[in-house]
Amino acid sequence: MGPGSILQARSSAFDPAGPVSEAIARLTEWMTWVFGAVFIVVMVLIIFAVFAKHNPEKKKTLNENWFIIAGGLIFPSVVLFVLLVYALVLTARISFGEEKLLIQMTGHMWWWDVHYPSHNVSVANEIYVPVGKPVRIELRSRDVIHSLWVPSLAGKVDLVPGMTNSYYFEASQPGVFRGQCAEYCGLQHARMGLYVVALSEEDFATWIKERQHSAPLDSPEKKSGFVAFKNKGCATCHTIRGTEAIGQAGPDLTHMGSRLSLGAGLLPNTFGNLAGWISNPQALKPGNKMPRTYLDARDLHLISHYLMSLK
Ligand code: CUA
């Protein structure tokens, strides 16, 4: 799964890849057909009313009272009631699902902290899940209201400060799916994306096992990279497990080199993009919480190499 895979990520409510999004797509289809039919009937009646010749001889062509009661009261009540029941039953069914895997997610301005509590793994801006397993994500927010939306997998649920909400979904096929913050949350709301990667069960087991490893400084390159990382203040905000970097303000970078994107879906994670991002994150995503770093070429090279080596 390389950074190029995000360019083909699926992201459409009309392209469902799981039972929850499938159910939502069916409801959307039904609503479109029913309301489309009602719209056509109303338009035909309007055209009829506009062009019908007025004939004073013929007092009543139609029983108006009956027409108003049936067409204006009974018909819309029945249509809306049936769709309301359908939507309520569906909402209840997809809002309280099964849970085979629990993920905890915290929204920040403007990135997603993703934690697997039973494996003690933390990543950012990407969610890996096994295909065919119902997932529940506990949603929290550190600052303002965000909203998680992965159109191909499920609907939207808000991340509200002081509250814990749940997001249920299941991916029924492997693939990469793009998600997006769907609640205006400030300057970089539009650049608060994420990716859901659905893997086969074996691949997911391998993935989570690799994420459990910490990142020891076991080579001279890593050591000098880490020294630059620390001296430039990066460790104040970022954690790299296995080192003395234990900052909490920004994403956990323990496996930065295997991340798909940079800046929450802003750029594919390649060496060049990473170096550009580190050297001036404010130019690429103005207003984000990562300050300008003013690195010289040597430090920039050391830090970029070090971070890309953290697979
Ligand atoms: Cu977070 Cu919009």
Q: Which atom of ligand 1 is nearest to the CA of 192?
A: 1
Using CA atoms, how far residue 231 sits from 224, 225, 234, 244, 303, in Å, is 11, 10, 8, 12, 11
Q: For 102-137, how does the pLDDT look when each residue is reduced to its tens digit (9 = 90+)?
A: 999 999 999 999 999 999 999 999 999 999 999 999
Q: Which atom of ligand 1 is nearest to the CA of 190?
A: 2
Residues near 273 by beta carbon (within 8 Å), at least 6 away in sequence: 262, 267
Question: Which residue, by CA, sits nearest to atom 1 of ligand 1?
Answer: 146
How far apart, in whole angstroms, are the C-alpha atoms of residue 240 and residue 261?
18
Check residue 133 and give its pLDDT: 94
Cα–ligand 1 centroid distance for 211 (angstroms): 26
Cα–ligand 1 centroid distance for 182 (angstroms): 6
First-to-last alpha carbon distance for the chain, in angstroms, is 12
Check residue 39 and give its pLDDT: 95
How far apart, in whole angstroms, are the C-alpha atoms of residue 124 and residue 182?
18
Cα–ligand 1 centroid distance for 194 (angstroms): 11
Q: Which atom of ligand 1 is nearest to the CA of 109?
A: 1
CB-based contact 132:174 (threshold 8 Å): no
Q: Residue 138: count other Cβ atoms within 10 Å of its Cβ.
A: 16
Cα–ligand 1 centroid distance for 184 (angstroms): 5
Q: Which atom of ligand 1 is nearest to the CA of 159?
A: 1
Cα–ligand 1 centroid distance for 295 (angstroms): 30
Check residue 97 and give its pLDDT: 78
DSSP one-letter code for 54: P
How far apart, in whole angstroms, are the C-alpha atoms of residue 78 and residue 83?
9
Maximum distance among all alpha carbons in the chain?
A: 102
* Ligand 1 pocket list (CB less than 6 A): 107, 110, 146, 181, 183-185, 189, 192
Which phi and psi angles does 144 have, rounded to 5°? -115, -175
How far apart, in whole angstroms, are the C-alpha atoms of residue 72 and residue 76?
7
Cα–ligand 1 centroid distance for 73 (angstroms): 41
How far apart, in whole angstroms, are the C-alpha atoms of residue 239 and residue 295?
20
Using CA atoms, how far residue 291 sits from 237, 299, 307, in Å, is 11, 16, 18
Q: Which two tokens stand for residue 240?
A: 């790299």
Q: Which atom of ligand 1 is nearest to the CA of 110?
A: 1
pLDDT tens, residue order, the chain (311 aa): 777 788 889 999 999 999 999 999 999 999 999 999 999 999 998 998 888 776 666 665 556 788 888 888 999 999 999 999 999 999 888 888 788 999 999 999 999 999 999 999 999 999 999 999 999 999 999 999 999 999 999 999 999 999 999 999 999 999 999 999 999 999 999 999 999 999 999 999 999 999 999 888 889 999 999 999 999 999 999 999 999 999 999 999 999 999 999 999 999 999 999 999 999 999 999 999 998 888 999 999 999 999 999 98
